[in-house]
Amino acid sequence: MNAGDVDMLPPRGRKRSALLLLPVLLLALVALGAPLLAWDQPIVCRHDGRLYFPALVVAGQNVPVIGGFLRRDVPFRYPDFVARSDLDATAFALWPLIRFNPDEYTDEALSPPSRAHWLGTDDRGRDVAARMLHGSTVSLRVGIFAMLLAGALGIAVGAVAGYFGGWNDGVLSRVIEATICFPALFLILAVLAWVGRGVGAVVVVIALTQWTLVARLVRAEFLRMRGADFVTAARSYGASPLWIALRHMLPGALAPATVTLVFGVADAILIEAGLSWLDFGVPAPAASWGGMLRSAYEQMRSAPHLVWPPCVAIFVSVLACHLAGVWLRGRIDPLAK
Amino acid sequence: MARYALRRLLVAVPTLLGITLITFVLVNLAPGDPATSAAAQSDRGLTPEAHAKLRAQYGLDRPVIVRYGAWLSRVVRFDFGRSFHDGRSVRAKIAERLPPTLGLAMIALASAVVIAIAVGGHAAVHAGGWVDRFAGVACFALSSVPRYVMGMVLIVVVGVRWGLLPFMGISSTDAADMSAPERVFDLIKHGLLIGVCFVYPLAAYLTRFVRDNMAVVMASDYVRAARARGLSQGQVIVAHALPNALLPLLTVIGMLLPGVLGGAVILEVMFSWPGMGLLMYDAAMQRDYPVIMGLTVLTAAVVLLGTLIVDLLYAVIDPRVRYA
């Protein structure tokens, strides 16, 4: 044992290469641009003497806020318009990698991987590769929004408990404790019964079960900082509690909370897939990895090839979030080398 | 210490009450009730009168808060009522589901601890060696594989393609005709795949934990002092390093315990493992309120007790921690 070994002892606060962010960035790109990779209409094409961007418009519609203002062009929004056959084959068209819509039923059900369907088709004849790519949109959306909600809730509760301490802390700590003890499955069913199934319900359910991690962390940080000189100084010149909490204490607690939230996105993604596997999650026609895993489970004897795409997708995205979390942890740690 | 424990127990009572009240109200006020789902099972339409009669039979026609009071007064006498689904007592239903979940959890935890001490200890003693590097990467990768993903892969590869191991239920259909050793072997075969799904995340987590703790201990002054006195590597590790590195492991196990004991709904549904998770799933699907409430009380009590034991363990293990 020499002194050099001590350096590598705590793996926590080591600075890491920003390359660790690459997987999560790629994942985000796939989630945003899924229709550019797999869709049954071209990205760009010339039709009746005009340029259309059908798949690009669909990708734009997936973007929050802006998406609401986008509308698909006339021939391409009609269900009876099949771009693969109705477009002039000689006219210019730039197609996505996979020329299938994730929700499109074809005649070949449960076919193994082939030249037409790279990862095969599921029980309704839908292209598995297209569904796998589009599943990332649902997963990442749920993961990010659930953690934003959980973060807001956790920071608010943790800050109040940690800033005021005493009686407030006692009550809020019991609330946190109760939430941890609460059987998550029953909470999920209750929320689903009230809100109805959908992405929103899944986001709310995940946020309601996952906010306690952040709350406990922020509470501990605030308790630690309460007696610090910079807080006493701020108080002495008459700063309001809200100002002290937001301006002086929150920045110190925000960094560790962010790390927890990034790891939390991974948890949220796998909770969402698990819920969809149990058929409580994102409702059926939408492409979700959990739903794909469920149909693979039901067809495990007739079509074992269905298992791999959702498994790989879930593993890769969880791993990507973990790598980003590790990078961030090294990044915010002031003691990191 | 005893006073602290008592105070914590007293504080846990209102927390437990709060949890049960919220669960009771949430589950009862949610749209749909067991009368409707019982009617759906009978395949026939239900007249409003028949529905009202069913509701009265289940005691669902009274206000929620009255029902909660009645439920609570029975629970303090350890009477959790009868299942709406099959009329059996909730206590008996839970009691028969405990052994599969608890047995699996304890065996999984024990195996994970053994793996963690062996691999983590070796990695720390030979820090930077190939075991250390390989274990580091493997632990990180494995901690990114969700348990149900591993379960699906094992089912499809080991269960279906290779046909090596059974993956549905806890025993074969002809288990009744088997001799005792055969039955044990049959049980082990059924538990192996779902068992692996429980072991590997625990093992990955605990290995990292043991490795990091042990590495700090190995670099400490008293280990250097022990070496200076001429102790062999084996003596240093077994008598000086391991005991100190393993003490924090106890508290971590205590922290993991509630999650481990709670079972895993998805895994138990996936493997048709007749444990607490599957009961929870079935009760939720059938709106079996008495079973739901019984499970809520049990899991909440286990988690509360688990955290209390962890806090007390800190004081037992580390004499510097004082509770007043």
Contact indicator for B156, A299 with CB cutoff of 8 Å: no
Q: Tell me the average pLDDT of chain B.
A: 86
In DSSP notation, B153-209 reads HHIIIIIIIS--S--SSSS-TTGGGS-HHHHHHHHHHHHHHHHHHHHHHHHHHHHHH
Q: Which residues of B touch A273 (CB under 8 A)?
A: 146, 148
The answer, for A314 touching chain B at a CB cutoff of 8 Å, is yes
**Cα(A230)–Cα(A239) distance, integer angstroms:** 12
Q: Which pLDDT score, from 0 to 100, does residue A337 have?
A: 56
Q: Find the residue in A nearest to B155 (Cα).
A: A300
- Name the H helices within chain A: 3-7, 22-32, 34-37, 54-61, 74-77, 83-86, 128-164, 166-181, 184-195, 199-225, 229-236, 241-243, 250-277, 289-298, 308-332
Angle at A330 (CA atoms; ends B115, A317), nearest 5 degrees:
65
Report how far residue B127's alpha carbon sits from residue B206's, in angstroms, rounded to the nearest whole number: 17
Residue of A5, A186, A311, A326 best to disrupt the B interface, most CBs of B under 10 A: A186
Arithmetic mean of pLDDT, A314-323: 95
Q: Using CB atoms, pick whichever of B141, B149, B161 lies closest to residue A311.
A: B149
ipTM here: 0.87
pLDDT given at position B294: 92
Question: b/e string for A236-268 if b means 16 or more Cβ within 10 A?
Answer: eeeeeeeebbeebbbeebbebbbbbbbbbbbbb
> Do A239 and A181 contact (CB within 8 A), yes or no?
no
Tell me the pLDDT band of B225, cut-offs 50, 70 and 90: very high
Mutate which of B11, B152, B158 to disrupt the A interface (most A C-beta within 10 Å)?
A: B152
Question: What is the structure's pLDDT at A76?
Answer: 84
Q: Cβ separation of A177 and B307 shorter than 8 Å? A: yes
- Kindly determine whether residue A273 and residue B23, on different chains, have CB atoms separated by under 8 Å: no
* Phi, psi angle pair for A52, to nearest 5°: -120, 155
Whether residue A9 and residue B215 make contact (CB cut-off 8 A), yes or no, is: yes
Averaged pLDDT score across all residues of chain A: 87
- The pLDDT assigned to A257 comes to 92
pLDDT in tens, A45-70: 888 888 888 898 888 888 878 888 88
Taking the C-alpha atoms of residue B157 and residue A242, their distance in angstroms, rounded to an integer, is 57
Q: How confident is the model at residue B311 (pLDDT cuts 50, 70, 90)?
A: confident
Distance CA A111, CA A123 (A): 9
Query: pTM for this structure?
Result: 0.89
Q: In this structure, is the dihedral angle defined by the CA atoms of residues B162, B164, B170 and B173, taken in order, positive or negative?
A: positive
How far does the CA of residue B300 sit from the closest CA of chain A (Å)? 5
- Interface A-B: count of C-beta contacts within 8 A: 122
Catalogue the E-assigned strands of B57-124: none
CA distance A211 to chain B (A): 17
Identify which of B212, B239, B213 has the alpha carbon closest to the alpha carbon of residue B226. Answer: B239
Facing A314 at nearest CB: one of B146, B292, B304? B146
Collapsed DSSP state (helix, strand, coil) of residue A319: helix
pLDDT at B211: 92
Distance from CA of A23 to the nearest CA of B (A): 14
Distances (CA, A) of B134 to A335, B137, B199, B202, B243: 26, 5, 18, 17, 25
Which band of pLDDT confidence, cut at 50, 70 and 90, is reported for residue A1? Answer: very low
The secondary structure of B110-169 as a DSSP string is HHHHHHIIIIIHHHHHTTTSHHHHHHHHHHHHHTTS-HHHHHHHHIIIIIIIS--S--SS
- B37 pLDDT band, cuts 50/70/90, is low
Q: Enumerate the residues of chain A whose CB falls inside 8 A of the CB of residue B155.
A: 297, 300
Q: Give chain B's domains with CATH numbers.
A: 98-317 (1.10.3720.10)
Report the b/e string of B80-108 with b at 16+ CB within 10 A: bbbbbbeeeebeebbeebeebbeebbeeb
**Closest CB from B14, B152, B265 relative to A307:** B152
